[in-house]
Amino acid sequence: MTETEHERRMAHPRMAAGALFFDSRGHVLLVKPSYKPQWEIPGGYVETGESPYAACRREVQEELGITPAVGALLVVDWAPSQKEGDKVLYVFDGGILHQDDVDAIKLPPEELLAAEFYPGEALDDLLVPRLARRVKAAIAARGEVHPQYLEHGQRVSL
């Protein structure tokens, strides 16, 4: 096999990273993008030369205007898309946001319309199915020793 054939066979996935933030009731913070109908979690794509953790922290600061601590990795999700190709998605634990942090949130109006806390039961109605599965798996993984490996938002028996 030539080097070019080998490179064509190698995956070149897009990577994205986001964080789950919670309020004192255990509700999760979602953001409403201006460019699509469903809600999302704070986060975005990893840039060239950037780690998923660094991308998560950067995206949280860009989207929410705050720099809270971002903690442990909760899930890694392999989620290929016919439209966008292979993706590897990371979700980190942002922990509980205190009221001072919530009050300091400043959304970029050209990108995000709202940031609100929702109970876990509302996720299926607000998020696209694969993201709802990923977020619910990440919520369940909080406090576990190891992050969860997912495919299309579903746990894989290893």
Query: Domain map of the chain by residue range?
Result: 10-155
pLDDT per position in the chain (158 positions), as tens? 666 776 777 888 999 999 999 999 999 999 999 999 999 999 999 999 999 999 999 999 999 999 999 999 999 999 988 888 899 999 999 999 999 999 999 999 999 999 999 999 999 999 999 999 999 999 999 988 889 999 988 888 77
Q: Is the CA virtual torsion 112, 114, 119, 121 positive or negative?
A: negative
Among candidate residues 62, 55, 71, 67, the one with its CA nearest the CA of residue 20: 71
For residue 64, what are the CA distances in angstroms to 9, 12, 87, 121, 152? Answer: 38, 29, 24, 24, 27
Report how far residue 108's alpha carbon sits from residue 29's, in angstroms, rounded to the nearest whole number.
Answer: 16
pLDDT of residue 84: 83
Q: Both tokens of residue 141?
A: 């993984």
Question: Could you tell me the pTM of the whole model?
Answer: 0.92
The answer as to CATH 3.90.1170.30 being correct for domain 10-155 is no
Cβ-contact 153, 77 below 8 angstroms: yes
